[in-house]
């Protein structure tokens, strides 16, 4: 994969972000809208296929984040859409599954959906 200036800009935005970003969020942060949305999506798809980024989906919107060696996963509240970063405890399980099935895992991701504490309280009061 060739690292073009456009790809560098998108990768930098994801690298500098503490939270996952949608393609639309990335487009809005690019200077003077130097790309169109389809270019952002194609770039994100390429990064995903290369294992450089992961994605989580919430209400038909994909949110992308950088794959790191010491990676994390997310819990997302389906009411308020807050995202909570959680540690990964799947590595040893994934290694065993890969061994059992003679499969080479390049990366994995996990998103847990539910209700945060505040939304649970708010929904219980209704």
Residue 29's CATH number? 3.30.1490.190
Q: Which residue has the higher pLDDT, 126 or 97?
A: 97
Helices (H), the chain: 5-16, 23-29, 37-49, 91-101, 117-125
Confidence of residue 69 (pLDDT cuts 50, 70, 90): low
pLDDT of 13 reads 93
Full-prediction pTM beyond 0.75? Answer: no
How crowded is residue 88: how many other Cβ atoms within 10 Å of its Cβ?
13
Domain carrying residue 102: 5-125
pLDDT of 68 > 70? The answer is: no
- The pair phi, psi for residue 80, each rounded to 5°, is -100, -10
pLDDT of 70 reads 59
pLDDT in tens, 11-51: 999 999 888 899 999 999 987 767 899 999 999 999 998 88
* Rounded average pLDDT over 61-70: 78
Confidence of residue 93 (pLDDT cuts 50, 70, 90): confident
CB 73 within 8 A of CB 88: yes
* Domain total of the chain: 1
């Amino acid at each position: 994969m060739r690292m073009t200036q456009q790809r560098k800009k998108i990768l930098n935005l994801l690298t500098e972000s503490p939270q996952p970003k949608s393609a639309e969020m990335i487009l809005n942060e690019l200077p003077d809208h130097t790309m169109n949305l389809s270019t952002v999506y194609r770039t994100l798809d390429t990064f995903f296929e290369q294992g450089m980024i992961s994605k989580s989906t919430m209400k038909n919107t994909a949110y992308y984040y950088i794959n790191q060696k010491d990676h994390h996963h997310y819990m997302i509240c389906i009411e308020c859409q807050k995202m909570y970063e959680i540690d990964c405890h799947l590595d040893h399980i994934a290694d065993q599954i890969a061994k059992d099935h003679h499969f080479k895992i390049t990366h994995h991701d996990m998103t847990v959906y539910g209700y945060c504490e505040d939304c649970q309280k708010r929904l219980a009061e209704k």
